[in-house]
Chains A and B, each alone.
Chain A
């Protein structure tokens, strides 16, 4: 369980999205707080859809530049800011894939590791397991892969995903559950 006990000098970055958006609408420099908050999620989402880390970085740049340019037009209350931002990310990824043959980058490796003293046996098994699940995800339909990327790479909630895919939250939840069941058929049978 995490217990934040001190936050010094980063108060702006710790507020709710609406406050950060309002700040960014008033002062362009304040957009940096939104950038800081969403960079990891947007990058990971795009990395799951791009053909290389370099392409994901370029797409991330494009997404935040678009968001920077248009954040003044965002109106809180219609949809969560997260959904608004990921709509830009999703459309950017779609446009990029139209320009070139899509190659879902689910083979990317080496997630951030701390010195966990992980034994090589565990590490070899972990790599094997992650390769299996990436291969299983790659077998899904494009809309299913997108759903997985939004939920588990972008970290979006069902309520944030629903407006992105044009469904009500309950329907989005059922679609995710169906996708996970299908994924399970291709993965982890020996677990």
Chain B
């Protein structure tokens, strides 16, 4: 086994065995009294599902398009063409939404000042335990933070070139659809219109297409994908007509069962946005680390 193979195997083992750690709380007084009053510790839950709905997409105004005449591909094309103008102008918004998934609920709150900064925070609750995960972008760079079991860990990335740290930029509908779509194995179509939190939006269905997900022996990845093509889940998005923010995200497993549902219940734009919300600073007592990139940030936060 070569050194590279050895290192790869070790990385895979670490990842495969990195079970999400529940928020078990320890109390010395409770521990000392265990014989008098044995009780189960509170168990939080993994924050794995939190990430799924954290991204919020800002897009150009698409209200001029009739929903039934516009394909998802056309939406992407139009959003991309107008993206540059929006980037320079910026879009300010504040939203709050909730995700219900197996094991718990997550409240997402996002503030975006366009180029001026943004912040997105998830508060995950399950079985009485709470875990907070968030990230903020401002003039000081990126702050990524997580509070679990009473401990807040913060990673700061000064370099803003890491694309994985972006949370909201105009023209990201393309990214949003790509996020849920596997080329050749899934397709996106415009399914109609819907109203969420008083906002009118387009409905985009992303579904697996096993018939086109063919295995190419020259590409091992395609062989693996073809093998699991029938098990791939689907996604339904509702995208705000005016701003192209995701208003609703439903994910389904391969059997069509609902895995999770995110729905916006508050949406504000313009002057209602609190500029201070993006001005994140680590709270007292936080363990703060300066890191070079997103990968290192992750290793800091999941200790």
Contact = CB atoms under 8 A, between A and B. Distances in A.
Most buried by A among B21, B179, B227, B302: B21
Interface stretch (B41-49, B67-75, B80-88, B265-273): B41-49
Interface residues of A, number: 70
B31 A112 contact: no
B255 interface: no
B178 interface: yes
Contacts of B186: 120
Contacts of B27: 32
Contacts of B183: 121
Contacts of A112: 18, 20-21, 46-48, 302
Given A43-B19, A68-B31, A112-B20, A117 B12 contact: no
B20 A116 contact: no
A128 interface: yes
Contact of B224 (A29, A128, A137): A128
B6 A180 contact: yes
A165 interface: no
B9 A110 contact: no
Contact of A191 (B8, B10, B120): B8
Most buried by B among A56, A69, A148, A180: A180
B232 A6 contact: no
B284 A53 contact: no
Interface of B: 1, 5-6, 8-10, 12-22, 24, 26-29, 31-32, 34, 40-41, 43, 46-51, 54-55, 120, 133, 135, 144, 149, 151, 163-164, 166-167, 175, 178-183, 185-186, 220-221, 224-225, 227-228, 232, 282, 284-292, 294, 296-303
Given A6-B288, A43-B19, A114-B298, 10 more contacts: A2-B289, A31-B26, A56-B19, A57-B22, A106-B16, A115-B51, A121-B183, A121-B185, A184-B9, A187-B9
